[in-house]
Every structure is written in C-alpha cells, then in structure tokens.
Structure 1
Amino acid sequence: MKKLQELIDGFLDYLVDIRGYSEATLTTYEVALRQMMEVSHFYQEDNAFVLDITPYRFQIAKKNKHTIATKLTAIHSCINYLEEQENLPIRLIAGESIKVPKSLPKPIEAQYIQEVLQSATLEEKLLISMLYGLGLRITELSTLQLSQIQPEWVQVRGKGNKVRELPLLPAIRDLINTYLANHTPKKYLFEKGNVPLNSAQLRYRLTKIFKSHGIKATPHQLRHSFATHLLNQGARIADVSELLGHATMATTQVYTKLGTAKKMNEYMKAHPLAHKGSEDSSEE
C-alpha cells in the first residue's frame, strides 16, 4: 500500500500534467493537503481505506467559510482522484458538524497524576486509575459491579444504557486484584455495607486526594486527561470516541486541539534545522 504522501504527490502531478491547473491553484491544494495529512489519520479497516480528517476540520474551524470550503474542496478532489484513477475506495470521516467550543477542557498533566498516585492509598490508587486509565464517568464507576470486570475487559453501561467494553491495562488489573484481596467487596467495586458508594462520595474522595497535593481536580478532568493524553500520543479519534462512549465523534473533537507547547515540541523534533545546532556541537 502506498503511503498517503505518495498518493497525494500522484494527485498533484495529475492536476499539472492532465488537468493543467495553474501554479496558484496547485499551491493552494498542496498546502491544504499537507496540513490535512499532518494531523489526520489514514488507515485500512475491513478491506477498505479510511481517511479521518476530523482533527483537521477542528484545526481550521475558526477560519472564514471561504477558506474552509477551499481546503475541503482540495481534499474531496484528491479523494475523487484516488477512487477513480487509483481504484482506491476511501471512506471519509470529516466531522461535518464541527463547531468551535467556547472553552477547551483543561486536562491534568500526566506527571501530576503520577505524583498523586505514588503517595495514595490502595483504594485511592484504584479510584484514580479507573477514572484516568479507562476514561470512566464518575456515575459509571459508582455503579460498576464486580461481574462487569473480566481479566482483559471491563464492561461499562453508560449514557442511554449503552454498553461498551474497555480494555483493561495489566497494571490496573493487578491493582484491582490486590484491592479485592484486601477489601473483599461483595457486589460493587466501591461499596460500603453492600451498598455502592455514590458519585458524590467518590468525587469527594478524589478531590480531597488531589487537594492534598495542591491540585484542584475533578473526576471529569481525569476523563478529559484520558482522552487528551491518548490523542496527543497519536491515538485515532474514532477509537478514543468509542472508548469514551460518545454518541458521535463531534463530541470527542474538542480534545484534538493540541497545546502550543506540544506543537512547538513536535516542531523542534521534526524540522531538520532543529537538529543542526546539536550536530555542529558534536563536530567540535
């Protein structure tokens, strides 16, 4: 399978050699496609190809309508070329209903979560790990029964009574086993007197743990952190959306806006000139 860059290069050559596009139009298309390629996901699924440009749609959401339309025209033209000329069927995920949120959720940095975990009790560690490690809603954790926890999966019943299965990280599975051996709950993971701890009780315990470290945190912030950290490490938005139990990926898209610091870090790692200084130093 050709890489997306190679396919786009072929499309641009086609515009010049066959369609006779002007240099200005070619540049506009090339810029739009390059920007799209940098943040989008291109993968094969069930013998078909998928191009998920939702992160790119979010990235350009604040631009004027004409600019957005021009960039999307370039992408749609490229897909039409790939389907008709390269015989490559592609399903486009474009997040058509994207809107710019008034404010973005503020995730907790991973290092701070790790610091809190290091000094937490066994029960506190499990509480944090279930919210941050699985992206659970606090209501989902409050009602989580032992029968829903399997060796490799946790079955969660979320909003609208929808059921989703979440992969259980080995570290969290070991933590659950240790917790069960020490606390021996009967029906619910977190319970007192055979009655599940409610959302307010779990929320109070969580905020108290982080407050002792000078951090203001909520259960929903840990869910934000789960999603943001996955996306920042390259996870596909479609997968994260499914893990979160969102009805549509339009809800998940608010997590795709990377912070300025991360953008700069990625730029410094990727651009050839960023390594020139270190190379020169090694030669001295």
Structure 2
Amino acid sequence: MNINVKDFQVPEGEKVKLDQWPTRVEPVYKSKKKYHKILEEHVDELSTLQRLHYASNRYAVLLIFQAMDAAGKDGAIRHVMSGVNPQGCQVFSFKHPSATELDHDFLWRTSQCLPERGRIGIFNRSYYEEVLIARVHPEILCSQGLPDEVLNKKTIWKERYRSIVDLENHLYRNGTRIIKFFLHLSEEEQRKRFLDRIDEPEKNWKFSVADIEERGFWKQYMQAYEACLSATSTKNAPWYVVPADDKRNTRLIISQIVLDTFKALNMSYPETSSKRQQELQVIRKLLEKQG
C-alpha cells in the first residue's frame, strides 16, 4: 500500500478549484478484507504513537473536519480514532452557537476546547463554519450583534481568514500541530447517501428537511470552500482535500495523514534521571522482599 499524502495537501497560496480535485481516486485496498487489515494496522500504530505523544507531553494535535452533509466525518473519526485512549483524546461538535457564544468573537467558543499538550483534540466542524455557512447565509451575521463597520461585505471574509491564520500560526508557535480535512464529496454521491438514510430505518434519524434545503446551495458552498481553502491552507496548518465518495478509501487516507503527522514530531519517552533510577531500585528491593 502506498499513500502519498502530498497528493491531497493544498499548497500554501494555491487558488483552489474544487472541480479539479477528485472526489474518488483509485482505492489503496484491493478488497474489503484488505481494507480492514490496513485500517487495523493504522489504528494499532496510531494507538502506540498516541501513548508516546501523551508521555512526551510536548505537543498538542488538533484535527479539524469540515465537509458537506453525508460526507462521512463521523464515520471517519469513529474508525480512525477507534484505538486511541479516550483519556488522551476529546471530540467536539460545533453546531449553532448559544447566546453566550454569540456575545464573543467568532473564535472564542472553539478556543475553549483546544487540546492540551500531550492530547489530541478533534473538531467535528469548527470555527471554519463562520466563513462557510455564514458566507452562504449572510443573514447569520446579522444575528451576531456585530458593529456595522465589521459587517462590510468587501472586507469581512478576508479579515476572518486573517484572524484564523493568525490564530493557527500562534498555536503552531506554541506547540500545537493542526491538520485540517475537507472531505470532498460529489453532489451525486450525497444524493445516494440521502436516499440510503430514507430507505434504511436505522439511518432515518440522520436525515431532515433542512438537509435538502442546504443541498440547494451546493454551488455557493463549493465557492465558499474554494475561497476558504485558498486563503487558509498554510505550511503550519495545511488543508487536505480528501476524496470522500469511497468511505473506506477516505478513512485510510486520513489515517495515513494523521500517522505521518505524529511521526514527524520525533517524539521520545522522557528520560529517567540517575536519581530516579536509584529510587526505582530501592522500590524494587522492597517489592522483592514482599514476594
């Protein structure tokens, strides 16, 4: 198996045109059995690296997932992170902001949930909603109580992109490594998955009329994503456009990107001092006497 993660990374400064990025690529697995084997290997390796990450306590890792409805964010998180110790990982899903959150700047509510050093934070949707759904539905901005001068349509999005990039650079300088995934789903595949949610009773709860209404803004969302990815993919916090029409392939690509990120940290377990070694030997002798 060979996954070149650079194939999916948005270079800093590149103007993204999503119709030039595939929603489906050649599978990296040859069968369902092979898929499970590769994923299991990735999960086991990630579990080992996560323990090292927790013990070394030098970096924080933040994974951000953004996508259209039915792209498979929840499933990717569930499968890829299935072997991670829950004590070292937290998942946050950001929906409509509360009244208290609306009284703060648009980055405030997510800042409360940033991971500590030694831990993994996962944002299922994030502060990027404020340059995506808020751009497609500008009426949302009117409910945020912002000053009139901030609501300048010619500048507000560039200013928000700048705030996001500044925040992510700040986090990088302080030891947080950020990986951002856009699960790139085709409009046709979304239609099929919506039909599955209707046809399969156990999936009915996932579907609402609002999903169909948002589907009507597909073109506007693609334009918003293109502008967002172009403005905020940086060397310190890159975006990865992951083909999402094949869920299994999506999970393997994501898990490889996460693994590569952890390996690049060059982590090691804390060294034990000579004084500590002496203490441990004293404890060993006490335990041996108790045997």
TM-score category of the 2 structures, normalised to the smaller one: under 0.3
Higher helix share goes to which structure? Answer: 1
TM-score (norm 2): 0.25
TM-score (norm 1): 0.25
Larger radius of gyration: 1
